[in-house]
Amino acid sequence: MSKSGQGNFFEDFEVGQVIRHATPRTVTSGDQALYTALYGSRFAVQSSDAFASALGYAHAPVDDLLTFNIVFGKTVPDISLNAVANLGYAGGRFLAPVFPGDTLSTVSEVIGKKENSSGRTGVVYVRSTGYTDKGTEVLDYVRWVMVNKRVASSPAPEPVVPDLPAALDPQVLGMAVPLLDSANWDNDLSGSPYHFGDYEIGEKIDHVDGMTVEEAEHQMATRLYQNTARVHFNHHTQAHSRFGHRLVYGGHVISIARALSFNGLANAFHIAGINGGRHVGPLAAGNTVYAWSEVLDKADIDGRSDVGALRLRLVATRDRPCHDFPGKDPEGNYLPEVLLDFDYWALMPK
């Protein structure tokens, strides 16, 4: 009997199944430093203990997407080791700040599954929740994954597709942010004079800069999150895939695009919620990522005079600058250079 795990196939998932994922992960200041080295993120609250503590934090929290990627990485061996593609996200909430010294673990619940018409794959929907060692929920989100079947001829299950929100109610946002002493927000140190009231619905922002991905960087990043998906590491097998090379982990693309968004959204210091997201196309080492954002909505948050919520659409492209805001063609199809279409709420000081 083999003691090696092969991961779960579509047939192995049952609606209502709860999976406690292995390997809790203690977050350190070294993780935050390596995250900065990989992406160059410059948001002041996550970069400076002095800046964060002046606002009311105990000290600088770790980057929101470092938390997301660690929580996500725990799920890969059980949820997506045999995945064809990670299809999308919805209903993500950042519920508490994470600081160096916190230990993160993840629990997932299968909330839906549906076989595809080919009979060879199916889509599995899971809600994953990240906790600290003290039992504090720091993040929950839904994602859906196309997973290979073990046996193509196995019978199709009764389809269960969860009803997911198109967008989070902004009133549920802000739990991971203390009441800020806004008088101590320093625009010089944060890198921008633009606050919540300076952005308009429908406004588009070209983030201008590009970042070329190196093979070592994306593999190091994915190892940082203990994400074991073979498509990111194993060139021997991926050389014979339809792409012919290793694929860059989708969370790496999100983190690059978010870091690039600093140029134009430097005071959007906290990702409060994930409304939805799609990895539209693959990325490989040697490609350069560009990004642009659109303000989809704005909202005040009850009881918060210090911050407001911006609903932002973040689009990342491959080897295409974004001065003309590339997205979809007139027929509604994504342009071939588009990598990511990510819809999220960010908090910004008023």
Q: Provide the pLDDT for residue 231.
A: 79
User: Largest alpha-carbon pair distance within the chain?
Assistant: 64
Distance, CA of 319 to CA of 337 (rounded, Å): 7
Q: State whether CATH 3.10.129.10 applies to domain 10-155+176-349.
A: yes
Q: What single-letter DSSP state applies at residue 75?
A: H
Q: Provide the pLDDT for residue 246.
A: 82
What pTM was computed for the model? 0.95
Distance, CA of 310 to CA of 270 (rounded, Å): 10
Q: Calculate the alpha carbon distances from 288 to 42, 66, 316, 335 in Å.
A: 19, 21, 10, 16
Instruction: Specify which residues 241 forms β-bridges with.
Output: none
Pull the structure tokens for residue 207.
């983030």
Q: SS3 for 326?
A: coil
Q: Which of 303, 124, 313, 121 is nearest to 202 (CA)?
A: 313
Pull the structure tokens for residue 96.
């508490």
Q: Provide the pLDDT for residue 247.
A: 85
Cβ proximity of 100 and 29 under 8 Å: yes
One digit per residue, the tens of pLDDT, for the chain of length 350 reads 778 878 899 999 999 999 999 999 999 999 999 999 999 999 999 999 999 999 999 999 999 999 999 999 999 999 998 888 888 999 999 999 999 999 999 999 999 999 999 999 999 999 999 999 999 999 999 999 999 999 998 999 999 999 999 999 999 998 899 999 999 999 999 999 999 999 999 999 999 999 999 999 999 999 999 988 887 888 888 888 878 878 889 999 999 999 999 999 999 999 999 999 999 999 999 999 999 999 999 999 999 999 999 999 999 999 999 999 999 999 999 999 999 999 999 999 99
Distance, CA of 231 to CA of 84 (rounded, Å): 9
Domain range annotation of the chain: 10-155+176-349
Find tokens 């929100």 and name the residue.
165
Q: Provide the pLDDT for residue 205.
A: 98
Radius of gyration of the chain (CA): 20
Instruction: Give the Cβ contact number of residue 253 at 10 Å.
Output: 25
Distance, CA of 269 to CA of 312 (rounded, Å): 13
